[in-house]
Chains A and B, each alone.
Chain A
Amino acid sequence: MKPLTTWRWNPVQGEYESGDAVPLQGTGEIFAIDAFSHKTMLLLGCTGFVGKVLLAMVLDRFPELRHLVVQVRRRRNLPGEERFYTEILRSPPLRPIVERLGGEPILRKKVQVVEGDLDQPLCGIRVEAVRQLERKVDVVVNLAGVVDFDPPVNESFDTNVYGTRHLIELVQLLNAKLVHVSTSYVAGKKNGRITEDVSVGYFPVRDARDGRHFSVDEEIEWYETFLSETRENRGGDPRPVRERLRAGGMNRAEFWGWTNTYTYTKSMGEQLIARTPGLTYSIVRPAIVESSLHFPFAGWNEGFTTSAPLVLMGGEGVKGWPVSNGPLEIIPVDLVASGILIITAAVLCGKNQPVYHLASADENPILLPRLVAFLGMNSRYKHKHKKSGNRLANLWKAYVETQVITVESLQARRARLRRGLDVIHAALTLGKTILGPDRVSPYLKSLRDTRRQIRQQEVTLDKFLPFMFHNSFIFETRNIRDAARMLTKEDLKRLEWDPKTIDWADYWVNIHTKGIEKWIRPVFTGKEKRDSQHSPP
């Protein structure tokens, strides 16, 4: 819908302003069109949420692009090249663009696919292919990484730490420049404004731990010892190896002040890059990447490490939300893709900074209590019109408002709920003895399903607590704003960095929530079903 009006919404002031917005006047120090026309980019990690949108944006907005190399990992029996053409180019964000550009034959002329894997030396690219790329690739853009918050620590290390080592080797061999995508949350458990810098030896609780120092090499030593000890199980721990590796990573991250294994290993990757002499690089740190604002179309989302699980839980009728009064640092995926391209152009033009945050709260914060109210309204909408399920439960979910609560209150609610479910369980077990299993078993199964669902919700919520309750961040974004100002006028028609104009209410209600319901819920529901089929009764 296109409202025909002279009024513009100012989301920061919370009021309408009259007159047209003053467009950004680029100084022309960075010329992205020229850079992408004459230089070659090697893109790693284009199979992910951000990677696909970035690839779509490069192809769509830079028809002048002569040559692009993409590294794609083989998936089981599907070779990288085949995966690129059958899976990636046919994904929802890319399919319409590929069709508009004239189909695969045109792309085959522009895009070279090389198979590889960040976990392997030289990122898994064959030596002959690397030789071919030498003196041809000008910049390597790496979006590959393990983004799960708490995977077994070896998975995170293999990609985010060793993978970064392989990446550096490859970049040095190609004599290229590097754009490495990390995360804003490498800041760890800190509060307040987070500056755009990277320092070797950084760990979040450095101020509180006098005398301690952090070294990536020592962490790698620790990891290798921990890994072999865990696999040999010298301590006789009864938990499965995978679970112990998961817990080990989280404990180590916690010890140094990071929120999870993901941010801990990503920070180490950054430090490896920062300490490499002679390397021209920029580290890009997006905040929580969310549904697209406009490109490739409004509401595109496939990220499970976004706020999607929370939105889905809100839609299921969760009422108590432990959040602080601070902002949630979210940023639409198309702004992230645009930001990465601006930074890549800056690197190619020699105007880059070492670190760029891609976040929104510095210019246009969306406060968490507002998001809690949106979750409640979505629940109201979904359950008011719901024909299936328990009618009373639907009424409760539709008409009882969401609340901001404390963590203590959350724990008390959980304890009450568990006690209640225990009582019901005891009653049903007694009923089973008296009335027989045929009449009671369906209720017991339903109770088990409810417990499982509640457990899953608790685990999800706990994973997000560091970002919603325990810590309150604002990531400074001066560097990307400066870079955008350095573009040419022509570039600014193709690349935007303007989070200050996002109307969060419209975005959250009409774009993000609907995008998650459309693109994520079906996948999530399928995954949940598969999990419950595989989990023990």
Chain B
Amino acid sequence: MKFVTTFLGYLKWHYGTALATTFSFWKNILLFLFNYFSIKNLAGNFFAPWKRLADNYPKRFNIKIYFFTFLTNTIMRIVGIILRTIMIFFGIIVCLLYILAFPITLVLWLALPLVIAGLIIFGFILLVSSK
């Protein structure tokens, strides 16, 4: 009797409380991925030079130094833009895959008690059957 009530209590949690909190659980992981790939931060500093490796322009105007500084800074910005684009792209892909995987996870969660039972029963059948 105790086993049955306990099991029913578990099912209540599995299809009740746990299911209700699945979305916030899913949201936590999505936010984590978003932060993990630093998408917001990278987008905010999209045009900044790579690791702020930029020279200061000369105080007194000198066309040659000015030109080289401009060139270096532009290269650093371009390097920054390329690497950020790659990282943002990967980040978004992972996030999208995660979003798409949500319904599958949900179905899996709903079926999990049956999956456990199925695995054990099927396992036993394989174990005992002769062919």
A and B bind = no
